[in-house]
Amino acid sequence: DIQMTQSPSSLSASVGDRVTITCRASQSLINYLNWYQQKPGKAPNLLIYAASSLQSGVPSRFSGSGSGTDFTLTISSLEPEDFATYYCQQSYLTPWTFGQGTKVEIK
């Protein structure tokens, strides 16, 4: 299985901060990497697909970059509704696998 490692596991930030989350894969994914946001009690919600494509309806403050084994999710200016847990997911090979999550908390 492809292992997905996110860092950090959690972070504290303030509204307006720029936030960066990293995801590293155990082998090259080319660009088969997706990012999801999950709020408590809710299902994950797709933010970014194919490493850098913004899902329809997702605010432009979210962006993704990277290729191969190293990927980044950036929130350019944190809004109150962005406090949540973020997951990366590889769709290069089955079994598809997820990172362990990064919890973004209010400082």
Partner 1 sequence: QVQLRESGPGLVKPSETLSLTCTVSGGSIGSHYWSWIRQTPGKGLEWIGYIYYTGNTNYNPSLESRVTISLDTSKNHFSLQLTSVTAADTAVYYCARRVRNPGSYDDYFDSWGQGTLVTVSS
- Residues making contact with partner 1 (CB under 8 A): 30-32, 34, 36, 42-46, 49-51, 53, 55, 87, 89, 91, 94-101
Angle (nearest 5°) at CA 91 between 84 and 87: 10
Residue closer to partner 1 by CB (options 16, 95) is 95
Provide, rounded to whole angstroms, the least separation between the CB of residue 16 and partner 1. Answer: 29
Residue closer to partner 1 by CB (options 17, 70) is 70
In a 3-state reduction of DSSP, which class is residue 81? helix
CA distance 29 to 61: 24
Provide, rounded to whole angstroms, the least separation between the CB of residue 26 and partner 1. Answer: 16
Provide, rounded to whole angstroms, the least separation between the CB of residue 15 and partner 1. Answer: 27
Residue closer to partner 1 by CB (options 73, 78) is 73
Residue 73: name the closest of 90, 87, 84, 59 by CA.
87
Which residues is 91 bridged to in the sheet? none
Provide, rounded to whole angstroms, the least separation between the CB of residue 102 and partner 1. Answer: 12
Q: How many Cα atoms are found within 13 Å in the side-chain-facing hemisphere of 85? A: 17
Residue closer to partner 1 by CB (options 36, 62) is 36
| Residue that is written with structure tokens 């994950």 in the block | 44
